[in-house]
A and B are shown apart, each in its own frame.
Chain A
Amino acid sequence: MHVQGHYFPKASSNYQPGVANIRDTLVEISHDDQLISSYAISDISLTSGLAGLADELRFNDGSRFIPSDVNYRWPFKTNKHDLLERLEKSKWAIIAAIVATPLFMWLMLYKVVPAIAVYSVDTLPHSVVEQMGEQSFAVIKKLALDPTELSAEQQATVQQHFNTMLDALALEKSVYRLSFYKSQSFGANAFALPHGRIVVTDELANLLADKPNALKAVLLHEIGHVVHQHSVRITAQSAASTIVLAVIFGDLEGIAEVALGTGASFAQQGFSRDMEREADSYALTQLEYLGYSSNDFADAIEALQGAHTTENEHLKKVNNLLEYLSSHPSSQERIDNARK
């Protein structure tokens, strides 16, 4: 067997044309019938084949022989060397990959990662959650919150509603803490931090001043977030999916990465909407349990919707179109859910 090619001596840019002959357990390299070198097949390292590339022989002294025919494959190669090449050239493997890849990605991002996140949240020590909450709170306070301007009695009233509900639900007062802040950037709003601090803005307290039960519904919704450990879960999830994407697509570049990032953030917003629904249903259940009506919750959402749309009415239509981009379910869906 004569294989035409080039012989490259060790660590040099020099090379010469040559012919490789396989003789039993040896490969002999010669040029014009003059023997240059001969090597035992067992001392040759082979590389796995790649489409359209010559199958080079790497000898143990650092020299190489490269066949001129890029499609030539050495007969002493074992099957495992060319398994990948065969897979990459097989129509069925390619079709299977096109179908299976998105499926596995979906499983990974929507099923496996959330499951891991839930599990890891349960094993997280309480002090870590406390730290995480306090640090985020410090950052938010600096960026978006001003001292409250509510009267002491208005604060006391809401605080008292809050405490009564905590007692009735047998929740720890040292964990669930209520604070009031004025906030230009949040407007009428309330939010919960992972360690149990719940913030109500002055704007919200004023908006719902004459609907105390609606305010209770909002508080219950926020308590729901803490009970279900939503913020810890979403943080763990976003960290985990970032890692999954970085590991799988470490060397994707440019536009492909942008597309993936967009996909991942859609997934993230999806989780966030599911969590809002979970908190909503917590609020609805507990409202019934405490003897209020789920209509109180609908009232609250309606009032909030009113407050926010007067601020930027012209964007309302666009907002409805972009529902799938939002971190919350649409207000209408939430109201309908409460009223049914």
Chain B
Amino acid sequence: MESIHPTPSQSNEPNGQPLTPLSSSKVQFSGKGGEFFGIWIVNILLSVLTLGIYSAWAKVRTMRYFYGHTRIDGHSFDYLATPMQILKGRILAVIVFLIYTFAVSFFPLIGFLFAIAFIFLMPWIINQGLRFNMRMTRHRNVRFAFKGDYGEAFVNFILLPIASVFTLYLLMPYVLKRIDNYIHSNISYGNKPLTVKLKGETYYLTALICFVVSSITMVIFMAILGLFGLDLLNVENQQAAQDPVKMGIMFGGLMIAYVVMIAIVTAVWKAAIRNHIFNNSQFEDVASFKSELKPIPYAILLLTNMLAIVFSLGLAYAWTQIRTSKMLAEATTVDIYPGALNLIDTTQEQQSSFAEEAANVFDIDLSLT
């Protein structure tokens, strides 16, 4: 962790001019698969033994491990949430979830009312979750913050996605751009807001590439089926279905093609969009970012992760998390400007993590990386 920073007293440059960065370095990730495996497996065991109560501690330890091992310019991130905050949120979320599951399974018609209520609650839950996560993130004794707005969240997360259905999803890349823009432009580091300039073209172009990739895979699907004499379009001609061995090989082939397609499409989308967001966001005078995630190595990583998890019966999970973080860190460069030394933390004190937990249990994942 040797840092090449000048001491604070030397940083007295005036604001408002284009500045040369004080330093430019890659994000470092120092987590190790073996270390995290121990943390992860002990987390699961204690969570199971305590009927889930320990899961709050488990979450904090996992987050602290990953934040603590991620360094920008020699300084690590801190995860500040306490297990009690997570636990309280989790208990609340489980109570709501209990009421929901029982109501829906015993009185199916009530499920409909829940769905309506949920639609209106969702923007609030999303905002709360983002707010909590940002406030619990700190770098160099300055916290991040998120200022969300219910109305905007409702438009971006509910109205526009519904509207895109009526445009045969042609609106979807634009909606995703709006969502990413909403999430990132509301982030601030200390008293410095993140300025984001995203372009719709990039989203449409990426969507087009993903579409072409999946179409090509569909053609390969059909070719495999044809190879085994099973013509999906012709119901009469299904001799292959009579032979279990052939069926097995065919299903195997299809599975592989499908998994490969998922990995490639995910990697292409994530890499292009992540690079676009990072390259067009900055904390003015404080930090700017560059992401050079390459889709093919990333797709290979995702694919090998999946294989490793399946063939190790889940045990490789810890290792896959570490190598993913490592690749993402290596693809990211951060330029630090003199303003970084004069930031002031303006965030207010704690809030419960209920919304974030509710989002977790109801499985609305809004990860920022």
What is A's interface to B at a CB cutoff of 8 Å? 6, 8-16, 47-48, 50-54, 62-64, 68, 84, 87-90, 93-94, 96-98, 100-101, 104-105, 108, 128, 131-132, 135-136, 138-139, 235-236, 238-239, 242-244, 246-251, 253, 255-256, 259, 314-315, 317-318, 321
Contacts and interface: CB of A to CB of B under 8 A. Distances in A.
Given A51-B32, A101-B44, A132-B107, 20 more contacts: A12-B343, A12-B345, A13-B341, A13-B344, A14-B8, A47-B64, A50-B64, A93-B38, A94-B38, A98-B41, A131-B106, A131-B107, A138-B109, A139-B109, A236-B105, A238-B105, A246-B361, A249-B44, A251-B58, A256-B309
B7 A16 contact: yes
A72 to B, nearest CB: 12
Contacts of A8: 140-141
Main secondary structure on A side of the interface with B:
helix
Contacts of B360: 250-251
Given A14-B342, A16-B8, A242-B101, A253 B38 contact: no
B42 A135 contact: no
26 contacts: A10-B141, A13-B140, A13-B343, A50-B61, A52-B31, A52-B35, A53-B69, A54-B76, A84-B61, A89-B35, A90-B38, A105-B48, A132-B107, A135-B107, A235-B106, A242-B101, A243-B97, A247-B90, A248-B44, A248-B55, A250-B52, A251-B62, A255-B305, A255-B306, A256-B317, A318-B241
A246 B357 CA distance: 11
Interface string B240-262: 01101001000000000000000
B219 interface: no
Nearest to A9: B141
Contacts of A131: 106-107
Interface in B100-139: 101-102, 105-109, 139
Nearest to A11: B345
Given A12-B141, A84-B61, A88-B38, A250 B90 contact: yes
A243 B141 contact: no
Given A12-B141, A314-B241, A243 B94 contact: yes
A12 B142 contact: yes
A59 to B, nearest CB: 11
B48 A108 contact: yes
A273 to B, nearest CB: 20
Interface in B7-25: 7-8
Interface of B: 1, 3, 7-8, 30-32, 35-39, 41-42, 44-45, 47-49, 51-52, 55, 57-59, 61-62, 64-65, 68-69, 75-76, 90, 94, 97-98, 101-102, 105-109, 139-142, 190, 238, 241-242, 244, 247, 305-306, 309-310, 314-315, 317, 340-345, 357, 360-361, 365
Main secondary structure on B side of the interface with A:
helix
A52 B30 contact: yes
Contact of B309 (A48, A138, A249, A259): A259
Q: Which 5 residue pairs spanning A and B have beta carbons closest together?
A: A247-B52, A11-B345, A97-B45, A13-B343, A88-B38
Nearest to B55: A250
Contact of B344 (A11, A15, A256, A314): A11
Nearest to B262: A255
Nearest to A103: B48
A173 B333 CA distance: 75
Contact of B38 (A10, A11, A64, A89): A89
A246 B140 contact: no
B39 A135 contact: no
Contacts of A108: 48
